[in-house]
Amino acid sequence: MPARGKVVKIASPFIILLVAVAIFAGLFQSRPTKPAVSKKETVWRVAVTQVDPRPRRPMLPLYGRIETPRSSKLRAAITADVQEVKVEEGDLVRRGQLLVQLDEQEVKLEWMQRQADLKEIEAFIASEKVRHTHDLKALKHEKSLLALSRRAVERAEILEQRKLTPRSVLDEAQQAAGRQALELNNRLLAIDDHQARLAQLKARQLRAQALLDQAKLDLERTRITSPYTGRIASVAIAAGDRVQSGDELLEIYDTDALEVRAQIPSSYAGQIRKALAQNVPLRAAAKVDGSALLFSLDRLAGRVERGSGGVDALLKLKKPEHAALPLGNFVELRLQLPLAEDVVMLPFEAIYGLDRVYKLVGGRMQAVAVERIGEYPDKEGQIQVLVKSPQLGENDQVITTQLPNAMEGLRVEVVADS
């Protein structure tokens, strides 16, 4: 009995605990049940636009600066003082217009000296020709005198043999004949040497003429004129300066060769290269200082800078009368690209990221990957984006509201006035 009572005493707490658990379970199972509440899916209100694929000529916005491939730094060709500077930075000038006048006094003295040298040599040439003519005439006379001298020697020899004249007479006759023979030889030598002397004088004449031409050229170089119609970019000298040969005087650029350098994104470079290769004209419009300007795409740059996102395009100004445009002026252009088929015009708000839109399918958003073709103005003149995708067909509805939580399958409804 004591052992049994001890067991009952130990088991009693566990029995009580089991009874309490059973009562709690019965109460929990018999509690009144609440009806389940179903969570309602959020519906986002959006605007849509109906797509209309058709051929269009996209426009590509470009940003560049005015430059020119024809820019010249005019330098002094002689050493002289600057007498007068007739232009200032920014002036428009005509071809051949006088820009800078250098002092010509030193150069003019040199030119006069070269003129005198040439005239002196020309006088030497004339004298040589007269001398040669005289030598030819005197040659016949000297030959006759030599013949007479030799006959006199023969007569003196006969008389001397007959003892009719002294020996001195024969000696004198022989000496006279020798002198005449020497004079004849000198005359022949002068005649033979005439061509060599004349050639030498003519060479000196050519040298003197070249030096005179150089002096004349230097004299002309005291007048610095414009090589073309253009605009003065900078002036490096002032009146009274002493300039050396090679010193920079001023810089000028050709206003008839103005062009814009603008970067074309790499994604458009391929079709533009193809259009240029096929001689398809590509034009661009811009407005600078209130003036409408027209450019044409002339060529693409031959080098792409490292880290660049595209290739530089060079667009020529179609109307050179806009010569007032300064170099470096910023220009915003819209380049008209070749005709593209089946492109869709959408507002920029319809684009998510760079290449994704959502169309409305069964009340839900469906993502569509697109290719951006360019831009295009709508009927009101507002710029729209042009895209292309085989998943966009006629009368498809594209969502034009930017949703921060846009995702595939998101439930939406169209606002009434969309």
- The residue among 215 and 147 whose pLDDT is bigger is 215
Give 168's pLDDT tier (boundaries 50, 70, 90).
confident
The residues near 150 (Cβ < 8 Å, ≥ 6 apart) are 177
pLDDT at 252: 95
Within 10 angstroms of residue 286's Cβ, the number of other Cβ atoms is 20
State yes or no: pLDDT of 263 exceeds 90. Answer: yes
Number of CB atoms found within 10 A of residue 33's CB: 5
Asked if residue 301 lies in contact with residue 312, where contact means CB atoms within 8 angstroms, the answer is yes
Q: What does the pLDDT average to over 187-191?
A: 79
What mean pLDDT is predicted for residues 186-209?
88
Show Cβ contacts of residue 339 under 8 Å, excluding neighbours closer than 6 positions: 55, 56, 57
- Confidence band, pLDDT 50/70/90 cuts, at residue 100: very high
CA-angle at 344, arms to 342 and 346, nearest 5°: 175
The Cα 132–Cα 155 span in angstroms is 35
| Of residues 99 and 255, more confidently modeled | 99
**pLDDT score, position 320:** 62
In order of 2, 15, 118, 232, 352, the CA distances from 6 in angstroms are 6, 15, 155, 122, 81
Terminal-residue alpha carbon distance, the chain:
93
Confidence band, pLDDT 50/70/90 cuts, at residue 1: very low
Per-residue pLDDT of 17-37, as tens digits, reads: 666 666 766 666 666 655 555
Averaged pLDDT of the chain: 85
Mean pLDDT to the nearest integer, 113-119: 95
pLDDT above 90 coverage of the chain, percent = 50
- DSSP letters for 9-39: HHHHHHHHHHHHHHHHHHHHHTSPPPPPPPP
Q: Helix count (H) and strand count (E) of the chain? A: 5, 24
Instruction: Please give the order of strands across the beta sheet that includes 80-85.
Output: 223-225, 98-102, 80-85, 242-243
pLDDT at 14 over 70: no
Q: What interhelical angle do 105-161 and 167-192 show, nearest 10? A: 150
CB 395 within 8 A of CB 53: no
pLDDT on residue 418: 54
Q: Measured between alpha carbons, how far is 271 from 174 in angstroms, rounded to an integer?
A: 107
Residue 220 pLDDT level (bands cut at 50, 70, 90): very high
The C-alpha atoms of residue 211 and residue 115 are separated, in whole angstroms, by 9
Percentage above 70 pLDDT, the chain? 87
- In this structure, what token pair is assigned to residue 15? 């029995």
Alpha carbon of residue 247 to chain centroid: 24
Of 28 and 413, more confident? 413
* Integer Cα distance of 100 and 237 in angstroms: 9
Which residue did the predictor score with more confidence, 300 or 12? 300
Please say if the pLDDT value at position 111 is more than 50: yes
Q: How far apart are CA 252 and CA 369, in angstroms?
A: 51
Q: What is the pLDDT of residues 118-137, one digit of tens each?
A: 999 999 999 888 888 887 88
In this predicted structure, the answer to whether residue 6 has a pLDDT above a threshold of 70 is no
Summarised one tens digit per residue, pLDDT across range 147-166 is: 777 777 777 677 777 777 77
* pLDDT per residue as tens digits for the range 38-49: 567 788 999 999
Name the pLDDT band for 385 (thresholds 50, 70, 90).
very high
Helix (H/G/I), strand (E/B), else coil: 374 = strand
CA distance linking residue 53 with residue 186, whole number of Å:
107
Q: Is the pLDDT of residue 138 over 80?
A: no
pLDDT score for 10: 62
The C-alpha atoms of residue 211 and residue 217 are separated, in whole angstroms, by 10
pLDDT tens digits for range 64-73:
999 988 999 9
Task: For the full predicted model, state whether its pTM sits above 0.85.
Answer: no
pLDDT tens-digit map of 314-360: 999 887 665 567 888 899 999 999 888 999 999 999 999 888 999 99
Phi-psi region of 158 (alpha: psi -120 to 50; beta: other; left: phi over 0): alpha
Q: How confident is the model at residue 145 (pLDDT cuts 50, 70, 90)?
A: confident
